[in-house]
A and B are shown apart, each in its own frame.
Chain A
């Protein structure tokens, strides 16, 4: 099993450009999450999905949209990137509801110029 995979690994955008970060898990988990990690700070939840077809905002949702395409895949979209969105983005999944042990992907490093 690959666990949680993310693409791309690294991306550079100009302010105003859009992009979609892809995430997939092969553990048959119901819940999936998107976090951002900034230097010296803990992971902050952007959006999560408790099941296919449902999504909910987390702590820092502004400037992002998500799609739970199917049980395996959960994508994060930046419609108009801003320098403040420069960060490392992690996707995670858990078997059940929020709060259970979450398993993380390797991350996407995003630089917005």
Chain B
């Protein structure tokens, strides 16, 4: 999940396993969501997005699930690889067209 503290939540998985990273968003009027990947020392990189009229969207090895009832977003990474190690954070676009970013979850993939 997301954290507003100094320490990010962490997820450690074995190479080849599936990873699930969660995000709770705050605004029930938000209608667009994005997952970003940020490797150490680099800028955030777009992974996948989803609009509020959908509950699931798939990309290459990644799936985003949206549960509007409980305001929850998840990112699933299939067959996680060492190159997937990074901080992942979600972003939501609210009804003022403002994009709000979560602090992120640190994913570590063990070989």
Contacts of B89 in A (CB 8 A): 42
Size of interface on A: residues with Cβ below 8 Å to B? 20
Chain A hits for B45, CB < 8 A: 104
Interface contact tally, CB-CB below 8 A? 51
Does A90 sit within 8 A of B, measured CB to CB? yes
Whole-angstrom distance from the CB of A1 to the nearest CB of chain B? 15
Instruction: Produce 1/0 per residue, A32-70, CB < 8 A to B.
Output: 000100011111110000000000000000000000000
Contact check, A107 vs B99: say whether CB atoms are below 8 A apart: no
The answer to whether B43 and A40 have CB atoms under 8 Å apart is no
Q: A41-B103, A42-B89 are in contact. Are A106 and B43 (CB under 8 A)?
A: yes
Q: How far is the CA of A103 from the CA of B45 in the complex (A)?
A: 7
Stretch at the interface among B1-9, B13-21, B67-75: B1-9
By a CB distance below 8 angstroms, the chain A residues around B41 are 107
Cβ-defined contact, B97 with A40, below 8 A: no
Report which B residues bind A (CB closer than 8 A): 2-8, 32, 34, 36, 41-46, 49, 89, 93, 97-104
A-B contact list, 30 entries, CB within 8 Å: A35-B101, A40-B4, A41-B103, A42-B89, A42-B102, A42-B103, A42-B104, A43-B101, A45-B99, A90-B43, A90-B44, A97-B97, A98-B97, A98-B99, A99-B32, A99-B93, A99-B97, A99-B98, A102-B99, A103-B46, A104-B36, A104-B43, A104-B44, A104-B45, A105-B43, A106-B42, A106-B43, A107-B41, A107-B42, A107-B43
